[in-house]
Amino acid sequence: MNKYIIHGGRPLMGEVTISGAKNAAVAIIPAALLVDGVCRIENIPQISDVTLLFSILEELGANVRVLNRHTVEIDSRHIHTTRTSYELSRKLRASYYLIGALLGRFGRAEVAMPGGCNFGGVRPIDQHVKGFSALGAGVTTEGGYINAIVESGRLTGANIYLDVVSVGATMNIMMAAALAQGDTVIENCAKEPHIVDLANFLNSMGADIRGAGTDTIKIRGVERLSGGSYAIIPDQIEAGTYMAAAAAVGGDVLIENVIPKHLDCITAMLREIGADITEYDDAIRVESAYRLHRANVKTMPYPGFPTDMQPQITVCLATAVGTSLVTEGVYDNRFRYTAELGRMGANIQVEGKTAIIDGVQTLHGCEVRACDLRAGAAMVIAAMCAEGMTLIEDAHFIERGYEDIVGKLTALGAHIRRIETYETPSVSEDAG
């Protein structure tokens, strides 16, 4: 496990290039199991969740060939088991996508209960199970594994209505249905950009999926996916995180390799609180020279303000002028990190699903921990805003979803260093 040491008070200046979308990659890589051939995937982010997925696929029998830093070829023609490693699967939430992929292609899957970020409560997969069951699979849980099997060997198309809008369920059912016999209609779907990206990937391999990005997705099952080449979209949340950092810390940052349309809700919110934002064809410039001001924020499914940006916007508001309200409309118990911000001097009270934030003049460096991926990113932003030195424990959570965050922030002028746990930092370390 790693730690970050950050000395705050330096504005961010320069350019940063956004990596491939984490939330797309962790679904597209398992989806490669559906392909009876070789698929080439480009713009893959170098993050720990991706590395874990490659290891899982290799244990299943896939050949994962790294062509360069961001490009791989995956050959799934020689899969020899449908049971995943318990130790590997339990380390990431996205392991549940292996169920839909394996079930769709082989008619069975044995996948260890997923892990990943813990928001303080259970993130159920009941909608996933509902979809698999409607397609003809029997699903049980035993010995820490989710077991899914279709006795006939192949799933059958069905009409499926999701009781709640679920990104994970939408993508998982889409994968399972791609090779099912007949037509599948999924209603009340999530609309996030990475759902469209997954559909585009599958279609490029030979699937027949229509309607991704709307609330109804129609899938005509095909006999086989034969392979091809595909490039993953830029990461909406990584881009939003650097936008929030530039707004909160201050400076002038050009964020390159983005799809501005995917960032509309983030852009609108940052403009509302006082950041100056200029949009280009594939880049966004964020300038911030003054103290931000209050706003009310509520997270919603796309195209609303994303739940994965909730901690980052909270940091922006922690030093803004006035009292702000941040309401979490997607997950329960996603405010655990506010206690860490409180240690830095933030004035935040949580009442149910709403955080009440009285902006303070400044934050102060201290020892804090990353509670999860996005909370960890928020701690990094807070540390760059703060006076003095901040030590962030459990930085491995951050590296689940941000490629080379230390290198990228250093290039923007931040004073940040990654250390191994055996190193002992000095509180009086020179800020340089």
Look-up of token digits 């989710």: 146
How many Å is the maximal CA-CA distance in the chain? 67
Q: Looking at 293-413, list the stretches that DSSP marks H as alpha helix, in order from N- to C-terminal side.
A: 310-318, 338-343, 373-385, 405-411
* Distance between CA atoms of residues 366 and 354, nearest Å: 25
Q: Give yes or no for a contact between 232 and 25, defined as CB atoms under 8 angstroms apart.
A: yes
Please give the structure tokens belonging to residue 297: 């924020």
Q: Given the residues 39, 117, 189, 385, select the one marked as catalytic.
A: 117
* Residue 316 among the catalytic residues: no
* β-pair type (276-279, 283-288): antiparallel
Look-up of token digits 């530039």: 246
Q: Is 152 exposed, middle or buried (0-12, 13-18, 19+ CB in 10 A)?
A: exposed
Cα–Cα distances (Å) from 283 to 18, 248, 278, in that order, read 10, 19, 9
Please give the structure tokens belonging to residue 318: 């922690």
In 359-432, the DSSP E strands lie at 367-369, 389-393, 415-420
* Distance between CA atoms of residues 419 and 284, nearest Å: 31
Please give the structure tokens belonging to residue 312: 């980052």
Q: Please count the residues of the chain.
A: 432
- Of 138, 211, 198, which Cα lies nearest the Cα of 168? 198
* Distance between CA atoms of residues 50 and 92, nearest Å: 10
Cα–Cα distances (Å) from 376 to 47, 121, 410, in that order, read 14, 18, 17
Q: Give yes or no for a contact between 392 and 369, defined as CB atoms under 8 angstroms apart.
A: yes
Q: Residue 363: CB partners within 8 Å, gap ≥ 6?
A: 8, 318, 319, 341, 344, 345, 346, 382, 385, 386, 387
Please give the structure tokens belonging to residue 214: 């709307």
Q: Catalytic amino acids?
A: 117
